[in-house]
Structure 1
């Protein structure tokens, strides 16, 4: 089906842009001498992940056990579940292991580590466990110099659990937009995670994997000495937050929302479209950045940004595009005209849809299923 024939709203993936993003990241990781384990939470789509693996990715990162189950069912076995493990989820994780999934899980506290040890003793099974390191104060994890790092590792080791590695995520990179600041944070991320691994090794724990990554730091790192693998996710589509950070240009953004003009408010200078927050998500990630894109960047059907237009408002099924020069709106934006909106946050916008419409260079589209839930 041609893009002009699609019902709206629809999530459009520009295949050529997506493939360019995949290839460029893989080339960079190869040049830095590290494995690349993409985070698949952005897309939750087998067609996309197959393209990442075909380009050279080794294993995947997931944020839900459902992602692990879905991708393992397609034959992808090397999986890192990069969210802190809680005891109630251990039986589900065990089921994956018993079916042959090489599932790695993470912890950042003694309570979780002790629960894993007790569960494995009872179930007569073992997991590979990684320790989550906090290298920027953004979210979860242990300081590289925290005494608890060794205490947790000893609980696992003494309980017969393989401490397979350390991992970190410099999520605060999303708050930056200066190349030197991004490079400095990438080095902070690298150095902190390597230091944590060195402390574990000095205590007799092999800690074979040192895993770092966010899209901005993966692109900004000067070198990755001591790191064995990188994880990044949103790079595959990019979005307006990443454009503001400086990780991409708006022309690199591979995900957009196809929408139709459904009305006009000439006295207000508004064009009304059928892409509200149910289509775009409520994510306003650009609101604290140098350029606020509202609920997304309005573009023509071919993806060219529309100058003087801003998606300033979003109700559940209505989007409001404010037009600077509002003369003759009905002629310039006729009823039924199709536009495309670039998203603030690709992960959040993609999550609104059960499928992507993958757009080829000739304007034809394919249907790529994605999945929801936990």
Structure 2
């Protein structure tokens, strides 16, 4: 088995100990709140990670692509929620999964899609389990809890013979908040809005067994989850700098990093050049609008210790510019000589992970083993 220092760079490294702590922390919180936990596996797209989540107590998984659903079903996971609005052209793929025995639930937030699902299912003798997406924060897609469209979509599904499996929401705007009070308020807004939507459906005579909420910050901040049946969260498994800024974790809880090598210097500018540019880190600059801008990532030593103030302040395709925040370091070449191995913490773990076909899973004795990762759609 290889050691961390033996790897070619750049490489995506998972600190297994940190990952396991993150998994246990979230599962413990969900158990305390008395809800089922359905992790969003789009963050890792890796079976060893998902096995650890299920072993800790997760009940099923959430996916962002049908390719993920196919892959994890082939690996023995059958309880799967596809949490992206369904389009008519993807229904044959969803049907094939269900016909193979996958307990696949799908999602819609509009009557046109609901009618397409109903027409397709009815013509093929299939009753799809469909959740209706609810917009509780104006962040992205979904129907607002009080909108008439909620009952219109439910009617289209029910009249077409489909099962209304429940309602689902994601308070993605929680990523923009950074105090416990604000996160708690958003968690309650997310919970209350989704529960209200479920109550409207039930009052109108529709079934609504599932009430599904979740984002990493709100899952950890929620005071109670009355009326909720399950929570979804994804990035918690690795965390990242956006989550650190949002108050969901500290930088020493980040389980994903990019191993990089110092390959040059621009001493007059106070730069060290590393072989990890935006192709290695991704172009995600999610911390740019937060309270602390980490550039393209936070530099750490090989053992994962943060180097305070040293950030990946610029990036080209294969070159990263590492410098000291706010001032020039005239001694950077002596501090970080050619060949130095560094680990760079990413802004967005999902985006950085997506740059690699495999992770390098790091054990406590600094040995690494490859963990494959799903790519594409």
Using structure 2 for the length normalisation, give the TM-score: 0.98
The 5 A counterparts of 1:308-323 are: 308-323=309-324
Deviates more, 1:92-101 or 1:200-209: 200-209
Q: How many residues align?
A: 374
Cα RMSD (Å): 0.8
User: Which residue number corresponds to residue 368 of structure 1?
Assistant: 371
Deviates more, 1:30-39 or 1:142-151: 142-151
- Cα deviation for residue 325 of structure 1 reads 5.7
Secondary structure of 2:306's match? coil
Distance 1:327 1:154 in 2: 68
- Cα deviation for residue 206 of structure 1 reads 1.6
Secondary structure of 1:106's match? strand
User: Which residue number corresponds to residue 116 of structure 1?
Assistant: 117
Which blocks of at least 5 consecutive residues in structure 2 are unaligned?
none
- Cα deviation for residue 225 of structure 1 reads 0.2
Contact 1:257 1:341 in 2 (8 A): yes
Distance 1:159 1:260 in 2: 58
Per-residue CA deviations over 1:58-102 (Å, capped at 9, x if unaligned) read 000000000000000001000000000010000010000000000
User: Which residue number corresponds to residue 47 of structure 1?
Assistant: 48
Distance 2:218 2:355 in 1: 27
The 5 A counterparts of 1:1-374 are: 1-323=2-324, 324=327, 326-374=329-377
Per-residue CA deviations over 1:303-362 (Å, capped at 9, x if unaligned) read 111123121100000000013462333332121110000000000000000000000000
Which stretches of structure 1, 4 residues or longer, exceed 3 Å deviation after superposition? none
Contact 2:269 2:328 in 1 (8 A): no
Per-residue CA deviations over 1:208-257 (Å, capped at 9, x if unaligned) read 00000000000010000000000000000000000000000000000000
Per-residue CA deviations over 1:13-46 (Å, capped at 9, x if unaligned) read 0000000000000000000000000000000000
Secondary structure of 2:164's match? strand
Distance 1:243 1:310 in 2: 15
- Cα deviation for residue 169 of structure 1 reads 0.1
Residues 181 and 308 (structure 1), Cα distance of their counterparts in 2 relative to 1, 3 Å cut:
closer
- Cα deviation for residue 124 of structure 1 reads 1.3
Contact 1:308 1:325 in 2 (8 A): no
